[in-house]
Structure 1
Amino acid sequence: MESFLFQASLYLIAVVLAVPVASRLGLGSVLGYLVAGIVIGPVFGFVGSETKDLQHFAEFGVVMMLFLIGLELEPRALWSMRDRLLGLGGLQIVVTALVVTLGALALGQSWRISLTLGIILSLSSTAIVLQTLSEKSLMPTQGGRSAFSVLLMQDIAVIPMLAFLPLLALPGARALAKAQAAESHAALPFLQQLPGWGVTLVTLGAVAAVVLAGHYVIRPLYSFVHRARLREVNTALALMIVVTIATLMLMVGLSPALGAFLAGVVLANSEFKHEIESDIAPFKGLLLGLFFITVGAGIDVDTLLTQPVRIAALALALMVAKGAVLYGLGKLFKLKGRNQWLFTLGLAQAGEFGFVLTAFAVKQRILPNALAGELLLVIALSMFLTPLAFILHDVLAKRMKDEGETHEADEIDEQQPVIIAGVGRFGQVVNRMVTMSGIHTTVLDHDLKVIQLLRKFGFKGYVGDPTRPELLRAAGLAQASVLVVCLDDRDAATRLVAYARRQRDDLHIIVRARDREHVFELYRAGADDIVREYFDGALRIGRYVLENVGLSEYEAREMEKTFFKMDRAAVRELAEVWKPGVPTEKNAEYIARAKELNRELEAALLSRHAKTRAEIAEDEARTDTAAE
């Protein structure tokens, strides 16, 4: 017990001292964690062999991080990423593995070892890159999204890599490794008795179980636990979800991080999404920090000191080679400026899964122990240099102009009855009309230039991402009467409406929609009033057309009113038969109902026109009679 408390105290003290200093110096928390690990490990020797065991536990932070990322991605959004996942991510893995393999062959390694090294070093560090992107608010950028797509594809690729690596071992070594693995893995003997198709069915069954559990088990279970209104029980349930899924994935030989990500995607539409996120986030941060410390503490300084030039040269050569591949792929996929440099420099290192694959390759008798030791040093050193690569990106970014620059959120010092999220060309008109009518508003927008322009004209606004729950709370979401959503990003607008509705049943939500399909999404998210972006303008143009082809102003105005009323009612009816993710042209029920409503609208317009003509005729007749 005393030994455990002593070790825990050392790790916590190292974190408290090193990380704030690194952050103050602009080096980022990741580099602070790595330095802390080096100080308490190789430098002063306060920690020893237990670091490797601790690292396996700390890797669970990566699993939690993937779960939280999955919570932010709805299945539809994931499907929209398929081109970058398969194209950009797949090409990165294949091309990088090929380049590293050729480099290893040039250094005199056999083709088996060279290909193994290529596979292992094609991966990048999910933990370091995503943590740094989040800290620097670079995830929403094009470069950040592209990096995330590649990292996600790499995590998925770990599964076939684990299946393929044993094939690279010599037949005798493969049989010996298989026998030893069967003795140490509880689930493996069962899987080994199954034919190939049986193993595939078990694997697919585990994935299907995670998806079905997310839909039919976790949600009602969370609802049941939530009734107890005990925060610690909710936290225990959130941890149980992640731990159980990770265990299931390990039992069938899959990546626990991938399983956790899949569960997060399934729960992305859950009403408990934000609560789960807030319960797990602190554990994720602590475990990730612990993981980085163990990486620093586990560096083999003796080997590094005996051949520092060789190890450093190999690590730098790896980062240059991967950077060249990434730069070329960035060009191919039309990344430009700072986004291309973010993509190139951010993914140039080896990854934490390299430790796992290296250990696996040693067990499979593919890599000799001496080479594996050097490989682990190269991986760790490249990870250690990654924060410096991000610093280089920051230096380059300052010299480049780039749209969508992010800034720290303002501190909101007052709360008003109306919150306007997004104050671009659309939201500005809304804000002017409301404020000039004597109603105070709280305006939120992520674009600093827009807020600065607003302030020049005497209107107050705050810089920040309106979709962030903490910013909304600071803006007074709990007390506001009306929330107006005028965001340009349609997905962000839908997320904001859904979150606000979950927080407040009585809040009146008015939102701008891009098109009719967006109206359906917002309607299901809980919006009260939905205004299509170009609908009112199009109605006015239609009215002008009618006035200039023979109709009077009164007739055209009445036709406009009828069309507005009937079309608005039709949209509400069509929202009931609309199916998310299904193209409208393939939704037979939607098409049939739309045709029926169009016929009703046409009949109503003709009827209104005839009635208006009759009213005009009666008025003219009365006027003529009075004149006589």
Structure 2
Amino acid sequence: QGELNTDYGNRAFPVLLLQDLAVAPLLAALPFAASAGSGAEGFDLAQGWSDALKAGAVIAVLILAARFALNPLLRMVAGSGSREAFAATALFLVAAASLAVAWAGLPMGLGAFLAGALLAESLYRHQIETDIEPFRGLLLGLFFISIGMRLDLRAIAEAWLIVLGGAVGLVAIKAAFLYGLSRAFGARRHDALLTGAVLSQGGEFAFVVFSVGADALLFSQGEAGLLSAIVTVSMILTPFLMAAVRTMRPKKETDSAEGLDGPRGGEGHVIIAGFGRMGQIISQVISAADIAVTAIDKSPSHIRNAERFGFKVYYGDASRLDTLLTAGAAEARAIIFCMDDTSAVNHAVESLRARLPNAFILAVAHDRMHEIELRPLNPDVIVRETMESSLLIARKALEELDFSNALIEDFIEQFRKRDRERLLAQMDFGPEAAKDLMHAKFDRGAQP
């Protein structure tokens, strides 16, 4: 809902992230807990340690492989220029990780989760997310369908009081605990209420934990079904709880998202599409101002060169609207387009302006004709690539020729005015319009 940068959003998001990360050790521990819980006679301590070491070794190998081989592999796939190859590679890596952890005696869901976390840390995460976006709804639907098919609706109907009471208890306990914790760390009352409300439900990974626990015979399928039903009802209750909390907002408390308009260090971000000569310089200046930068480029060689100098550039086709949205264009303070492909810049500016009318868009025009193409697309700022550097060289030359600084400034301003007039004329009447302005002498006025 666009509230990630509010006070309560900044508190809630790390908790949600920690909940997801906690799934990994929980899933890893379930088989061993089930073995230990089966009784002393059925549990071999030596075998337990052997299985634990085996599992730890597999996870360590996956992490190390991702650390040293994942980006080179994805760079090679990116070099093919095939979107389908990218999506297929991502799915293959998830399947391979799942099979590897299953061989180690751990749930396949843990492998899929681990693969997703490692892919999210790669330089190619935005493009991967964009390419699998068409399948996300389908896969998410299949996940919930598989959970629903495990539920015994008759047993749940017979124990509806337990399900309802469990859901209300879960929501109440989590909301109260997180409200108190938020207040203890200085949150305002309403922000603390929102934090407790948005985090009060059970997470979707609870379904995975219950399913794996039932498969490991830690508890019965019926118990897993009741627990899953409790989490489901808590998810249904949470939106109503959020709506109720919003109505309790005191008038004196302004929205915590307000006040973020000014450039404050570490808040907001800027997207730079294209990390060539201009993108690199722009990124350095903005980063030095303590503003987060998300740089995107579809050239593997640009990304590799950027890594050599400590820059983190994500692989992606920034001419595609879905890539820009995945990179956070809706929340970005500014989106800067400085790609080499003029048609890609035009398409990106046009599609982004249509989707996000209030976005602040800056576009680099390669030449005069490109600027003429860009103007009807309504970017907020257009800068011609060679304009300022050319004027700077002309200024230095005039200084060497003993022109005064005041006269040079006047010449530069006259040139800018003529250039704008000629540009507008060219937009209306064609490339050769007002070409006489190119040869007109400057008006020196009263100056010698």
Q: TM-score range by the shorter chain?
A: 0.5 to 0.7
Matched, 1:143 2:11: yes
Distance 1:152 1:373, change over 3 A: closer
The C-alpha deviation readout for 1:153-205, integer Å capped at 9, x for no partner, is: 43134135404642674639x94xx8xxxxxxxxxxxxx89734432321222
Are the equivalent residues in 2 in contact too, given 1:246–1:260 (CA < 8 A)? yes
Matched, 1:155 2:59: no
Question: 2:134 aligns to what?
Answer: 282
Are the equivalent residues in 2 in contact too, given 1:142–1:339 (CA < 8 A)? no
Counterparts of 2:236 and 2:183, CA distance in 1? 27
Counterparts of 1:267 and 1:363, CA distance in 2? 28
Distance 1:155 1:220, change over 3 A: same
| Per-residue deviation, 1:214 | 1.3
Counterparts of 1:213 and 1:282, CA distance in 2? 28
Counterparts of 2:103 and 2:212, CA distance in 1? 16
Question: 1:198 aligns to what?
Answer: 50
Question: 1:589 aligns to what?
Answer: none
Matched, 1:245 2:97: yes
Question: 1:424 aligns to what?
Answer: 263
Distance 1:329 1:196, change over 3 A: same
Counterparts of 1:285 and 1:406, CA distance in 2? 35
Counterparts of 1:384 and 1:390, CA distance in 2? 11
Distance 1:150 1:406, change over 3 A: farther
Are the equivalent residues in 1 in contact too, given 2:58–2:100 (CA < 8 A)? yes
Matched, 1:466 2:252: no
**Matched residue SS, 2:282:** strand
Matched, 1:404 2:260: no
Question: 2:337 aligns to what?
Answer: none
Counterpart AA for 1:324: A
The C-alpha deviation readout for 1:101-157, integer Å capped at 9, x for no partner, is: xxxxxxxxxxxxxxxxxxxxxxxxxxxxxxxxxx54427832233322431343134
Are the equivalent residues in 1 in contact too, given 2:94–2:116 (CA < 8 A)? no
Structure 2 runs not aligned, ≥5 long: 314-448
Distance 1:231 1:314, change over 3 A: closer
Counterparts of 2:220 and 2:142, CA distance in 1? 29
Alignment of 1:56-95 (within 5 A): none
| Per-residue deviation, 1:379 | 2.6
Match of 1:483 among 259, 266, 282: 282
Distance 1:143 1:341, change over 3 A: farther
Distance 1:299 1:486, change over 3 A: same
The C-alpha deviation readout for 1:390-417, integer Å capped at 9, x for no partner, is: 444554568643433599xxxxxxxxxx
Distance 1:226 1:238, change over 3 A: same
Distance 1:274 1:380, change over 3 A: closer
Matched, 1:524 2:320: no
**Matched residue SS, 2:256:** coil
TM-score (norm 1): 0.40
Give the fraction of aligned pairs with identical amino acids, expressed as a percent.
27
Are the equivalent residues in 1 in contact too, given 2:166–2:230 (CA < 8 A)? yes
- Give the aligned CA root-mean-square deviation in angstroms: 4.6
| Per-residue deviation, 1:274 | 2.7
| Per-residue deviation, 1:249 | 2.3
**Matched residue SS, 1:323:** helix
| Per-residue deviation, 1:341 | 2.9
Counterparts of 1:247 and 1:150, CA distance in 2? 25
Structure 1 runs not aligned, ≥5 long: 1-134, 179-191, 408-421, 427-444, 447-464, 510-520, 528-628
Counterparts of 1:153 and 1:287, CA distance in 2? 20
The C-alpha deviation readout for 1:35-91, integer Å capped at 9, x for no partner, is: xxxxxxxxxxxxxxxxxxxxxxxxxxxxxxxxxxxxxxxxxxxxxxxxxxxxxxxxx
Counterparts of 2:227 and 2:190, CA distance in 1? 31
The C-alpha deviation readout for 1:282-332, integer Å capped at 9, x for no partner, is: 333432244345556766544454454443223212221232233233334
Distance 1:388 1:276, change over 3 A: same
| Per-residue deviation, 1:206 | 1.0
Question: 1:210 aligns to what?
Answer: 62
**Matched residue SS, 1:499:** strand
**Matched residue SS, 1:524:** coil
Are the equivalent residues in 2 in contact too, given 1:143–1:340 (CA < 8 A)? no
With 477-486 and 265-274 compared, the bigger mean Cα shift is at 477-486
Alignment of 1:138-537 (within 5 A): 138=4, 141-159=9-27, 161-163=29-31, 165-166=33-34, 169=37, 171=39, 175=42, 195-254=47-106, 259-260=111-112, 262-263=114-115, 266=118, 270-292=122-144, 300-362=152-214, 367=219, 371-396=223-248, 400-404=253-257, 424=263, 466-467=270-271, 483=282, 486=286, 490=290, 493=292, 495-496=293-294, 498-499=295-296, 524-525=310-311
Distance 1:301 1:260, change over 3 A: closer
Counterparts of 2:311 and 2:3, CA distance in 1? 26
Counterparts of 2:233 and 2:169, CA distance in 1? 12
Counterparts of 2:15 and 2:97, CA distance in 1? 25
Are the equivalent residues in 2 in contact too, given 1:155–1:257 (CA < 8 A)? no
Counterparts of 1:206 and 1:349, CA distance in 2? 33
Are the equivalent residues in 2 in contact too, given 1:345–1:393 (CA < 8 A)? yes
Counterpart AA for 1:403: S
The C-alpha deviation readout for 1:415-456, integer Å capped at 9, x for no partner, is: xxxxxxx96379xxxxxxxxxxxxxxxxxx95xxxxxxxxxx
Distance 1:281 1:332, change over 3 A: farther
TM-score (norm 2): 0.53
Distance 1:142 1:425, change over 3 A: closer
Distance 1:269 1:318, change over 3 A: closer
